[in-house]
Amino acid sequence: MGVVNVTPDSFSDGGVNFDPERAAETAGRMLDDGAAIVDIGGESTRPGAGPVSADEELRRVVPVLERLEGQVPVSIDTSKAEVASRALELGAELVNDVTALRGDPGLAGVVAEHGAYLCLMHMLGEPRTMQRDPRYDDVVADVKRFLQERLAAAVEAGIAEDRICLDPGIGFGKTVEHNFELVRRLDELAALGRPILVGFSRKSSLGKLLGDPEATTGTTAASVGAAVAAYERGATILRVHDVRDHVEALTAAAAVLG
């Protein structure tokens, strides 16, 4: 899954794809580079980010979706029913909701009505405050319990279970050690029986691991290392910014693992 943030302020690629023409070009290039789907987002969820209105989010993503004309498989990274609804009308196939259906009571109905795919992600707190001293009894058990509960809620709301994938939410209310433990024990989350998505790409834990305590991003090489380890432990969707590097590394890893 390639990432295209149509935002001025994303931690990883803020501003780069804010222009709709540029964003559509990036999405097309990611497809050529081997992405199976491109995740388009109009709201940054980086630590400290504040919310964006539905109107502003629509203003950012609709021109991109219109340019892609349903020719690129698209995931819409949103928590808002209104944005998801418009994106699905314009050909998006998957709704990537970092609030796991807790942000907008109308979103589950929109996903169910369109028969869309859905990603449910774990987050502790909200982006504005989530990195202030996050604590768990057992991070993997807590995240697993949460994802199981949100999966049941989504199915209860009429979304087919076989359309849902789950995501531990790397960097969303987690310390460096929490993030690595979640990937180390990813098999415990895969035991829930749904595909697992991991988004470690460029996240600050990678930069911190490599010795910079103030890092806000991580390198491509470190991202690829984390993605290959996640794949080996059962991740089936890797959300990444540097598509070609990841596709090449994962192709080699898959050949080794058989």
> Is 67 assigned a catalytic role?
no
Using the rule CB under 6 A, give the single segment among 15-23, 108-116, 163-171, 175-183 that binds ligand HH2: 163-171
Minimum Å gap between C-beta 191 and ligand HH2 is 19
By CB under 6 A, tell whether 167 contacts ligand HH2: yes
CA distance 182 to 81: 29
- CB atoms closer than 10 angstroms to residue 62: 18
* Catalytic-role residue among 203, 208, 233, 244: 203
Considering only 9-17, 28-36, 106-114, 188-196, which stretch makes contact with ligand HH2 by CB under 6 A? 9-17
Q: Which is nearer to ligand HH2, 81 or 171 (CB)?
A: 171
Tell whether residue 199 is a contact of ligand HH2 (CB under 6 A): yes
Minimum distance, C-beta of residue 7 to ligand HH2, in the bound complex (Å): 5
| Cβ atoms of 239 and 39 closer than 8 Å | yes
CA–CA separation, 35 vs 40, rounded Å?
Answer: 13
Cβ-proximal residues to 132 (8 Å cutoff; 6+ apart), any chain: 125
How long a stretch of residues is the chain? 258
Contact 75, 40 (CB under 8 A): yes
Interface residue with ligand HH2 among 81, 95, 118, 170 (CB under 6 A) is 170
- The one among 61, 62, 77, 246 contacting ligand HH2 by CB under 6 A: 77
Residue 174 a catalytic site member: no
Residue 218 neighbours by CB under 8 Å, 6+ apart = 200, 201, 202, 203, 204, 205, 206, 207, 209, 210
Using the rule CB under 6 A, is 57 a contact of ligand HH2? no
Q: Does 98 bind ligand HH2 (CB under 6 A)?
A: yes
Among 54, 58, 130, 197, indicate the residue that binds ligand HH2 (CB under 6 A): 197
d(CA 231, CA 175): 21
Q: 110 with 88: CB under 8 angstroms?
A: yes
Binding site for ligand HH2 (CB under 6 A): 3, 5, 7, 10-12, 41, 44-46, 77, 96, 98, 119, 121, 167, 169-170, 197, 199, 239
The set of catalytic residues is 203, 239
